[in-house]
Structure 1
Amino acid sequence: MVIPKATRWRNFRRSGLAMLVASIPVIFIAIFVGIPALMAIAFSLGYTGGPNATISLLDQSLVSTDHGITFAVYAHLLGDASFRGDFWATIWVTLASVALIVAVGWSLALYLRFARGRLVHILSSLYLVPLFIPVVIASYAIVTFWNAHGYMSALVEDILHLPFDGFGYTLFGVVLGQLWVNIPFSVLLLASGLRNVPDALIESARDVGASFPTILLRIIVPLNMLPTIIVATFTGIGVLGSFTIPYLTGPNAPTLLGVTMARFFQAFNEPQQAAAMAVLVFILAAGLGAVYVWANVSSNRRGGAAQ
Structure 2
Amino acid sequence: MQKNRLVAMSMALMPILVIAIFIGIPALMALAFSLGYTDGPNSMITLIAQNVVRADHGITFQVYSDLLKNHAFQQSLWVTVLVTLCSVFLILLIAWGLAIYMRFAHGWFVHIVSSIYLVPLFIPVVIASYALVTFWNANGYMSAMLVKLGITHFPGFSYTLVGIVIGQIWVNLPFAVLLLASGLQAVPDALIESARDVGASTLRILLAVILPLNMLPTVIVGTFTGIGVLGSFTIPYLIGPTAPNMLGVTMDQYYQSFNQPQQAEAMAVIVFILAAGLGAIYIWANIRSDRKAGAHL
Structure 2 equivalent of residue 161 of structure 1: 151
| Map 1:43-54 → 2, pairs under 5 A | 43-54=33-44
Structure 2 equivalent of residue 98 of structure 1: 88
Give me the whole-angstrom Cα distance separating, in 2, the residues matched to 1:20 and 1:197. Answer: 43
Letter in 2 for 1:121: H
Structure 1 equivalent of residue 170 of structure 2: 180
Structure 2 equivalent of residue 254 of structure 1: 244
| Map 1:91-130 → 2, pairs under 5 A | 91-130=81-120
Q: CA RMSD in A?
A: 1.2
Asked whether 1:217 is paired with 2:207, we answer yes
Structure 2 equivalent of residue 276 of structure 1: 266
Which one of the candidate residues 8, 20, 31 is aligned to 2:21? Answer: 31
Q: Which consecutive aligned stretches of 4+ in structure 1 deviate over 4 angstroms post-superposition?
A: none
Give me the whole-angstrom Cα distance separating, in 2, the residues matched to 1:199 and 1:58. Answer: 65
Give me the whole-angstrom Cα distance separating, in 2, the residues matched to 1:23 and 1:209. Answer: 58
**Displacement of 1:153 after TM fit?**
2.2
Give me the whole-angstrom Cα distance separating, in 2, the residues matched to 1:174 and 1:51. Answer: 36
| Counterpart contact for 1:190–1:227, Cα < 8 Å | yes
**Displacement of 1:13 after TM fit?**
4.0
**Displacement of 1:160 after TM fit?**
4.6
Structure 2 equivalent of residue 68 of structure 1: 58
Structure 2 equivalent of residue 4 of structure 1: none
Letter in 2 for 1:92: L
**Displacement of 1:22 after TM fit?**
2.8
**Displacement of 1:225 after TM fit?**
0.4
Give me the whole-angstrom Cα distance separating, in 1, the residues matched to 2:91 and 2:109. Answer: 21
Q: Structure 1: 5+ residue runs without aligned partners?
A: 1-9
| Counterpart contact for 1:58–1:270, Cα < 8 Å | no
Letter in 2 for 1:280: I
Letter in 2 for 1:225: M
1:68 aligns to what SS in structure 2? Answer: coil
The aligned length equals 297
| Counterpart contact for 1:153–1:164, Cα < 8 Å | yes
TM-score by length of 1: 0.94
**Displacement of 1:19 after TM fit?**
3.3
**Displacement of 1:152 after TM fit?**
1.7
Asked whether 1:55 is paired with 2:49, we answer no
Give aligned-pair identity as a percent.
Answer: 65
Q: For the structure 1 residues 160 and 206, does the alpha-carbon distance in structure 2 shift closer, same or farther, using more than 3 Å as the test?
A: farther
Give me the whole-angstrom Cα distance separating, in 1, the residues matched to 2:53 and 2:175. Answer: 42
Structure 1 equivalent of residue 125 of structure 2: 135
Give me the whole-angstrom Cα distance separating, in 2, the residues matched to 1:162 and 1:223. Answer: 48
Asked whether 1:286 is paired with 2:261, we answer no
**Displacement of 1:158 after TM fit?**
3.1
Letter in 2 for 1:26: I
Deviations 1:241-289 (A, max 9, x none): 1000000000001011000111111111100000000000000001011
1:57 aligns to what SS in structure 2? Answer: helix
TM-score by length of 2: 0.97
Give me the whole-angstrom Cα distance separating, in 2, the residues matched to 1:294 and 1:15. Answer: 34
Letter in 2 for 1:132: F
**Displacement of 1:65 after TM fit?**
1.7
Asked whether 1:295 is paired with 2:272, we answer no
Which one of the candidate residues 253, 256, 261 is aligned to 1:266? Answer: 256
